[in-house]
């Protein structure tokens, strides 16, 4: 058998949710550290494919129709699964990492005959992965460990740094001023499978923060996709740069990379900001910051509201408790966010003045 035939070929299966795609790059970081000669393929939905193509260490991106596969009619799902199997069965994977506990993901892996399959599972045994409360990135990376390893697991892997992969921003996207650029994320907390407004900080409060920062000499931009257009109404009377639904994924990453500060609750762009190492104020309530971010990076300031609430946190890694009034998020005041922003932007503001 020649070297090409004996080369490891690892397939990662994770289809949707930008934040989870970013977090799962810990898998690639571990592969590159421990198995630098392995070929890495990633099966992802069409919506996330432009992001995964930026991941350093991924050799091949296999994009599929996630809408039909996960949300279509019974016939649509069956046909979509057959098409995915047809694409995978032609390859000889040595290992498959199923980075989601949904049984439909494991079903995809059935086409990879002869491969060793590792998958997330939410059983009741000690082998459950992810374990509630642990950083999801560590749990993704744990899938690559040998089955006989009973712990402890010492090595940690950060999410990939995407800055070297970003194309230059086209002219005219960013303001030409020397003022600090603050990016706000007022929407989000939604993907193909679920909408979780309990994670959002009120859009009206983002508008108040925007107004205060504009008065202090900052340029303020809003980022998000087309489904976040509703959030623009809250900032209608504030002179912000409205990028909601107007940027590609690569352009959104570029804007975040140029930001002096990003302010976001727990949603996809928060993870995008981390992937480009942007200074960030991260607003949390129902979720545990360390479970989402792991070891908090030095350029990230975490504000976790609701310390006095018996119901916080209310996320078990899969579902949120029923909640019609997210007091934990509302517990974070506009004044607190502005105070942290002023401290973090003080150097940039001084340079601008």
Q: What would the pLDDT profile of 186-235 be if each residue is shown by its tens digit?
A: 998 777 667 788 999 999 999 999 999 999 999 999 999 999 999 999 99
Residue 16 backbone dihedrals phi, psi, to 5 degrees: -135, 175
Q: Nearest to residue 137, comparing CAs of 340, 293, 309?
A: 293
User: Is residue 181 pLDDT above 80, yes or no?
Assistant: yes
CA distance 152 to 183: 39
- Distance set, CA 18 to CA 24, 115, 149, 172 (Å): 10, 27, 30, 26
Token pair for 208:
């108040």
Token pair for 92:
């000889």
At residue 228, the pLDDT reads 93
146 pLDDT band, cuts 50/70/90, is confident
327 pLDDT band, cuts 50/70/90, is very high
At residue 4, the pLDDT reads 46
This model's pTM is above 0.95: no
At residue 175, the pLDDT reads 87
288 pLDDT band, cuts 50/70/90, is very high
Max Cα-Cα span within the chain: 68
User: Is residue 300 pLDDT above 70, yes or no?
Assistant: yes
Highest mean pLDDT among 133-137, 150-154, 305-309: 305-309
CA distance 221 to 202: 17
133 pLDDT band, cuts 50/70/90, is confident
User: Is residue 119 pLDDT above 70, yes or no?
Assistant: yes
Beta bridge partners of residue 263, listed in sequence order: 184, 281
Q: What would the pLDDT profile of 1-31 be if each residue is shown by its tens digit?
A: 444 445 899 999 999 899 999 999 999 999 9
At residue 115, the pLDDT reads 93
- Distance set, CA 98 to CA 22, 42, 103 (Å): 15, 10, 10
CA distance 83 to 113: 16
- Mean per-residue pLDDT, 310-314: 94
CA distance 240 to 258: 16
Mean pLDDT rounded to a whole number for the chain? 91
Q: Nearest to residue 235, comparing CAs of 216, 222, 245?
A: 222
- The CATH number that domain 3-155 falls under is 3.40.50.2000
Q: Nearest to residue 323, comparing CAs of 123, 205, 189, 191?
A: 189
- The CATH number that domain 173-352 falls under is 3.40.50.2000
At residue 123, the pLDDT reads 58
Please check whether residue 197 is in contact with residue 217, taking contact to mean a CB–CB distance below 8 angstroms. no
Token pair for 295:
């070891």
Burial class from Cβ neighbours inside 10 Å (0-12, 13-18, 19+) for residue 172 reads exposed
At residue 30, the pLDDT reads 96
User: Is residue 111 pLDDT above 50, yes or no?
Assistant: yes
Beta bridge partners of residue 261, listed in sequence order: 182
User: Is residue 173 pLDDT above 70, yes or no?
Assistant: yes
At residue 280, the pLDDT reads 98
CA distance 344 to 145: 39
At residue 205, the pLDDT reads 97
* Cα angle: 101, vertex 103, 109; to 5 degrees: 95
- Mean per-residue pLDDT, 282-289: 96
| Topology match between the domains 3-155 and 173-352 | yes
At residue 122, the pLDDT reads 63
Residue boundaries of the structural domains of the chain: 3-155, 173-352
Residue 212 backbone dihedrals phi, psi, to 5 degrees: -65, -40
User: Is residue 127 pLDDT above 80, yes or no?
Assistant: no
Q: What would the pLDDT profile of 30-88 be if each residue is shown by its tens digit?
A: 999 999 999 999 999 999 999 999 999 999 999 999 999 998 999 999 999 999 999 99
């Amino acid at each position: 058998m020649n070297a090409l035939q004996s080369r490891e070929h690892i397939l990662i299966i994770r289809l949707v949710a930008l934040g989870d795609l970013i977090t799962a790059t810990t898998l690639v970081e571990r592969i590159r550290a421990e198995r630098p000669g392995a070929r890495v393929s990633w099966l992802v939905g069409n919506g996330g494919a432009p992001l995964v193509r930026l991941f350093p260490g991924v050799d091949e991106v296999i994009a599929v129709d996630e809408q039909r596969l996960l949300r279509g009619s019974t016939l649509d799902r069956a046909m979509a699964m057959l098409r995915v199997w047809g694409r995978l069965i032609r390859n000889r994977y040595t290992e498959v990492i199923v980075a989601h506990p949904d049984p439909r993901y494991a079903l995809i892996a059935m086409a990879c005959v002869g491969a060793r399959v590792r998958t997330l599972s939410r059983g009741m045994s000690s082998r459950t992965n992810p374990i509630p409360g642990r950083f999801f990135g560590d749990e993704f990376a744990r899938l690559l460990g040998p089955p006989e390893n009973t712990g402890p697991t010492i090595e940690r892997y950060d999410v990939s740094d995407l800055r070297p992969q970003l194309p230059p921003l086209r002219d005219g996207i960013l303001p030409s001023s020397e003022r600090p650029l603050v990016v706000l994320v007022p929407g989000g907390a939604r993907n193909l499978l679920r909408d979780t407004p309990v994670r959002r900080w009120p859009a009206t409060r983002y508008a108040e923060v925007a107004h205060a920062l504009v008065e202090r000499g900052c340029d303020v931009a809003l980022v998000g996709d087309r489904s976040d257009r509703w959030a623009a109404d809250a900032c209608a009377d504030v002179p912000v740069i409205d990028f909601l639904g107007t940027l590609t994924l690569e352009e959104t990453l570029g804007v975040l990379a140029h930001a002096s500060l990003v302010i976001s609750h727990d949603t996809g762009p928060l993870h995008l900001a981390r992937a480009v190492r942007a200074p960030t104020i991260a607003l949390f309530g129902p979720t545990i910051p360390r479970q989402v971010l792991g070891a908090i990076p030095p350029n990230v300031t975490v504000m976790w509201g609701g310390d006095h609430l018996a119901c916080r946190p209310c996320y078990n890694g899969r579902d949120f408790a029923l909640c019609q009034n997210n007091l934990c998020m509302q517990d974070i005041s506009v004044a607190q966010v502005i105070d942290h922003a002023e401290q973090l932007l003080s150097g940039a503001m001084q340079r601008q003045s």
